[in-house]
Chains A and B, each alone.
Chain A
């Protein structure tokens, strides 16, 4: 162990170690960022494959390929894997790669903990996925795991599920602490808070949300564990508890969680739109205030997921109004993006295409969210495909598109090579069409009255379900193309310049492409 200390002086200037141990033992933010990104892509494929099972079953009315029991396991794992395995680690990976480079820091503040927070994840998801092969099957109670379906009536694998959520949470909290500390403590001189790139801001706020709500989720699953195995009655009316208590705790976590999945996207999109408009971002400081407002409001709107559980009237009104308010700061962001493009000098490279699609489709998802916030109308929308359409619009062309945009935008900096622009555009258009064909018809199905989490449905929903399934397969196949493009870029291609994009601003574009293994070992000067 002391060898590390002795060798420390020269080690510091070495490149990465060789072989597998590079990845197992690494403390380098770029390596860890890469691990996170590949991991999340793998999870995206697995979760996506489950979505394809869902869509295949729903291709037609009648039970086709899976049993209802297995269908429920699929939706549960699909939701959990996409959220905790797909989107969140992807954003942490981007934070790892970008935050230190954007603020002129040599690395993340706590590099060993950084490695730990990544390596917990493969184990956590191994446990979650292995529950598919356990007696009684995988968790089958939806990603929201409402009690008592997830307690008294759950399969035995729920215990494994609970503990895997525990360690996922530990990973997220450690990752978030690392980001906060890095941002608070590691900025190069001159990088003041209000000069920080927006992606960094968005992550500072996201990390704060994560540290605040992941422990609450841990509390919720702990209560479940106690109810299931140790006789407590938190969620059991017969003992004086309340199943609805579970929902309050879950959504106190769950609603901020959805902003955890969108704030970093806001940051990414701001950078990309600025770059390809060749014009300074409109309203930087209002962007920051908007994100802060969204984050604060996100703590007082949770019960909008529970409008039908029988809340007292005053609560319904309060949560409706508070939820609607979030449209104001979010609107400010959308308007700022549009104003940035206005009178800009636009070009439409792949990252920009994804970013523009993000703004349009996220806004559509946001507007349907606003409709959901209207309580009397939500009585009709709740737990129908209208909700499914809403959240896939904010999550797939929202969060996922922003991640893809980020990969196209920064991969030249990461790998030193340009991606294939023609293929990138093809990927974009296939995804764009696929996503809309998949999820737009779900608005219709939902309004026409099809409940979600149904493995089979009445005949009047058949046509649009078929369209949706076709779209899903189109979208799914296009992601194989994405994999191909990324691999091709990593392995070779046209060399990228340091600046990469004509209009790009920020510290990360001042270092070489590919970015050296250690950047900013001495802080850059920023004014």
Chain B
């Protein structure tokens, strides 16, 4: 049988292990979260066990796939399947972010103005004087129930004006992330030209930039929590701000981890050929996707 036949793996125990890991993970996560204010709870052990199982399974599963690939079992058609699969996975991620962006647009254009008595749906609110004194603005200055007055505009994450541009972390973050997209592209070119040194060097730089980004983001969160009092509890501005940037940051970590694995594969195992390196390509697509999301974030969360 030639390698050009589609490779249908026989029996595999990874999927069921993965399913069990996920089960442990979500059971653990649910009971941990439900027991957050119960110091005696041991639920988090289930969560950790689930995570450990998940990563172990993934490690062996990917190792197997790589082995099969190196053994020449993959046909071109199968590689195309991986390409399509990754593309559609990224599309699903786009839709996940779309939900949060949608929420942001909705509250900014509708909910917050209505709550302050503006527009068609504000008529009733102003008629009975609900949320008296609440004024529409973005970032929201005080929440309608005046529970969180600390999300003051000058202390939000919004654009501080040219005078303070250099102190503004999001700008640095943008520069870092955009350059990392360029460096990962250089790495790709290096690989395509068979220049492994260039590949390793630029991939290394990319991973480094990813780390810097995460570090800056952490600094920004620290700033927000400790100095501005802007938290998850600060009403809808804090909610959208932290959820959007938080999920993005989480994706940066995943993407950075993927790139780091690719780097390790190249450096320690000499994987990837100039014409055959989908593992790396998938990771770099993912990285570009994370980058595009950031550009959207920068625009809609920070600037506008």
Tell me which of A181, A226, A229 has the highest count of chain B C-beta atoms within 10 A of its own C-beta: A181
CB contacts (< 8 Å) of B121 on chain A: these are: 310, 312
A54 to B249, CA, bound (A): 46
Residue of A nearest to B14 (CB): A112
Q: Taking the nearest CB of chain B, how far is it from the CB of A380, in angstroms?
A: 22
B140 at the interface (CB under 8 A from A): yes
Q: Taking the nearest CB of chain B, how far is it from the CB of A227, in angstroms?
A: 8
B23 at the interface (CB under 8 A from A): yes
Whether A9 and B1, one on each chain, are in contact in the complex, defined by CB atoms closer than 8 angstroms, is yes
A178 to B15, CA, bound (A): 14
Bitwise, B58-81 to A at CB < 8 A (1) or not (0) is 001101100110010100011011
Residue of A nearest to B120 (CB): A312
CB contacts (< 8 Å) of A166 on chain B: these are: 26
**Interface residues in A214-267 (C-beta closer than 8 Å to B):** 214-216, 218-220, 222-223, 225-226, 229-234, 237-242, 244-245, 248-249, 252
A-B contact pairs, 26 of them (CB 8 A): A2-B67, A5-B73, A12-B8, A106-B5, A106-B6, A120-B22, A123-B20, A159-B30, A160-B27, A177-B85, A184-B84, A185-B77, A185-B80, A215-B95, A215-B96, A216-B98, A216-B99, A233-B143, A234-B103, A234-B240, A239-B144, A240-B111, A241-B111, A242-B114, A248-B106, A522-B5
Whether B95 and A109, one on each chain, are in contact in the complex, defined by CB atoms closer than 8 angstroms, is no
The total of chain B residues at the interface (CB under 8 A) is: 79
Top 4 nearest A-B pairs (CB, nearest first) are A219-B99, A240-B236, A232-B239, A238-B145
B161 at the interface (CB under 8 A from A): no
Bitwise, A1-44 to B at CB < 8 A (1) or not (0) is 11011011101101001000110111110000000000000000
Residue of B nearest to A113 (CB): B15
Given A106-B6, A216-B99, output 8 extra A-B contacts at Cβ < 8 Å: A111-B8, A127-B27, A181-B85, A214-B92, A219-B103, A231-B231, A242-B106, A310-B121
Contact pick for A313, options B36, B115, B120, CB 8 Å: B120
A521 to B33, CA, bound (A): 48
B9 at the interface (CB under 8 A from A): yes
Contact pick for A27, options B5, B12, B110, B143, CB 8 Å: B12
Q: A127-B26, A216-B98 are in contact. Are A116 and B243 (CB under 8 A)?
A: no
Whether A112 and B9, one on each chain, are in contact in the complex, defined by CB atoms closer than 8 angstroms, is yes
Residue of B nearest to A29 (CB): B8
B167 at the interface (CB under 8 A from A): no
Q: A2-B67, A120-B22, A249-B103 are in contact. Are A211 and B15 (CB under 8 A)?
A: no
CB contacts (< 8 Å) of A361 on chain B: these are: none
Q: Taking the nearest CB of chain A, how far is it from the CB of B3, in angstroms?
A: 11
B190 at the interface (CB under 8 A from A): no
B34 at the interface (CB under 8 A from A): yes
A178 to B31, CA, bound (A): 32
B147 at the interface (CB under 8 A from A): yes
CB contacts (< 8 Å) of A5 on chain B: these are: 67-68, 71, 73
Contact pick for A239, options B71, B98, B235, CB 8 Å: B235
**Interface residues in B242-270 (C-beta closer than 8 Å to A):** 242-243
Whether A21 and B103, one on each chain, are in contact in the complex, defined by CB atoms closer than 8 angstroms, is no
A60 at the interface (CB under 8 A from B): no
**Interface residues in B93-152 (C-beta closer than 8 Å to A):** 93, 95-96, 98-100, 102-103, 106-107, 110-112, 114-115, 119-121, 131, 140, 143-145, 147-148
A276 to B62, CA, bound (A): 47
A444 at the interface (CB under 8 A from B): no
A156 to B15, CA, bound (A): 30
A interface with B by C-beta (< 8 Å): 1-2, 4-5, 7-9, 11-12, 14, 17, 21-22, 24-28, 105-107, 109-113, 115-116, 119-120, 123, 126-127, 156, 159-160, 162-164, 166-167, 170, 173, 176-178, 180-181, 184-186, 211-216, 218-220, 222-223, 225-226, 229-234, 237-242, 244-245, 248-249, 252, 310, 312-313, 518, 521-522
A231 to B103, CA, bound (A): 16
Whether A181 and B64, one on each chain, are in contact in the complex, defined by CB atoms closer than 8 angstroms, is no
CB contacts (< 8 Å) of B112 on chain A: these are: 240
Whether B13 and A24, one on each chain, are in contact in the complex, defined by CB atoms closer than 8 angstroms, is yes
Q: A166-B26, A232-B238, A232-B239 are in contact. Are A237 and B92 (CB under 8 A)?
A: no
Q: A159-B34, A232-B243 are in contact. Are A4 and B93 (CB under 8 A)?
A: no
Contact pick for B88, options A14, A119, A181, CB 8 Å: A181
Q: Taking the nearest CB of chain B, how far is it from the CB of A147, in angstroms?
A: 12
Whether A239 and B68, one on each chain, are in contact in the complex, defined by CB atoms closer than 8 angstroms, is no
Q: A1-B64, A120-B22, A185-B81 are in contact. Are A240 and B237 (CB under 8 A)?
A: yes
Contact pick for B11, options A2, A26, A310, CB 8 Å: A26
CB contacts (< 8 Å) of A12 on chain B: these are: 1, 8, 10
